[in-house]
Amino acid sequence: MTLDRHKLIAGTAASTAALLSATQIDVTTAEPPADGYMFCAFVKFIQKLSYQRLAETVAELGFDGIEATVREGGHVLPERVQDDLPKLVEALREHNLEIGLMASSVNHLDQPYTEKVLRTASQLGIKRYRMKYFRYDLNRPVIQQINQIHAQVKDLVALHHELGLQGVYQNHAGANVFGCAIWDLYQVVKDFSLTDLAIAFDIRHATVEGGLAWPVHFNLAEPYLGSVFLKDFVWEKQSSKWRIKNVPFGSGQVDPAFARQLRQSGFQGPVSIHVEYLHEEDTAANVAALKRDLATARRWLTN
């Protein structure tokens, strides 16, 4: 089985190298912004646009790059990554933009397209990717499952190290999502190099799950930051239950004090703007929302 994996890795590496040599894309990364942040547009809600039109739009909005969707249902499908990801990178480069990170379906080595997706990304100069979530089975002991996740991630991190690629794992709200409490995610990332594995800290999800304790959670995550996600929410009562409603960044429960803590941390890297509060099919509205939330983010983080 080990021999088969080595053959697969070698074959994938060779085919990817040949493809990228043929496309001759300049993989030199753009210079980081003066303030140290790379503001990225998460393109989930505008991925109906062509690669060229997407690049033009993101540049016009004033972003430094994008969080690409390279996953099932994404802008780049995993099975087409060698064909399509170079095209997206090329379109972005024409507008002095880059893929600050990419949202993927990857969280272990045994998935069909893990090797191909990560090797192609690395060859194209992409430095970070967001991992797919792990979910708990709440009928089993949680600590046992964290240990299993640790072992699974260890194998994946070995590939990260080989490729010079950083995997980031997002803390996400949810009763059965690994990382929702930050403490469980810490138990895994603390054992690996920051260059190989890091936390994508989402202040919206941290506030949902942590309430007033979000500063403690950020304090724990800070040494392991690989990226930051900005979005906002309010609690809304529907019938007899309280539910989460996504709202424009800066208009909800997220505490502006987070911006001060982030500035004080000295973090330099991708800050991804997530627009979760409009309809996925309304591209024009979501473009306008990205523009509005980017302006708020810049005001919070650079003043």
Rounded-to-integer distance, Cα 135 and Cα 99, Å: 27
The pLDDT of residue 3 is above 80: no
Query: What does the chain come to in residues?
Result: 303
pLDDT tens per residue, range 202-259: 999 999 999 999 999 999 999 999 999 999 999 998 888 889 999 999 999 999 999 9
Rounded-to-integer distance, Cα 159 and Cα 172, Å: 24
The pLDDT of residue 276 is above 90: no
The mean per-residue pLDDT over the stretch 101-117 comes to: 95
Strands 241-247 and 232-238: antiparallel
Torsion of CA 118, 176, 244, 133, to 10 degrees: 0
The count of other CB atoms within 10 Å of the CB of residue 299 is 12
What pLDDT is attached to residue 184? Answer: 97
pLDDT tens per residue, range 125-172: 999 999 999 999 999 999 999 999 999 999 999 999 999 999 999 999
DSSP output for 93-160: HTTT-EEEEEEES-SSTTSTTHHHHHHHHHHTT--EEEPPPPB--TTS-HHHHHHHHHHHHHHHHHHH
**Token match 């004080």: residue?**
264
Cβ–Cβ < 8 Å for 136, 142? yes
Domain ranges in the chain?
Answer: 2-302
Residue 16's pLDDT band, with cuts at 50, 70 and 90, is very low
Cβ–Cβ < 8 Å for 37, 271? yes
What pLDDT is attached to residue 19? Answer: 44
What percentage of residues in the chain have a pLDDT greater than 90? 83
The mean per-residue pLDDT over the stretch 191-207 comes to: 98
What pLDDT is attached to residue 282? Answer: 87
Q: What residue ranges in the chain does DSSP mark as E strands?
A: 37-42, 65-70, 98-104, 128-130, 166-170, 197-202, 225-230, 232-238, 241-247, 269-273
* Chain centroid, CA 217 distance in Å: 19
Residue 179's pLDDT band, with cuts at 50, 70 and 90, is very high
The mean per-residue pLDDT over the stretch 90-107 comes to: 97
Q: 65, 116, 15: which is closest to 271 by C-alpha?
A: 65
Helix (H/G/I), strand (E/B), else coil: 281: coil
Rounded-to-integer distance, Cα 1 and Cα 72, Å: 27
CATH class of the domain comprising 2-302: alpha beta
Residue 150: Cβ-neighbour burial (10 angstroms; 0-12, 13-18, 19+): middle
pTM of the model: 0.88
The pLDDT of residue 53 is above 50: yes
Q: Which two tokens stand for residue 222?
A: 């800070």
Cβ–Cβ < 8 Å for 166, 128? yes
Rounded-to-integer distance, Cα 149 and Cα 153, Å: 6
What pLDDT is attached to residue 280? Answer: 67
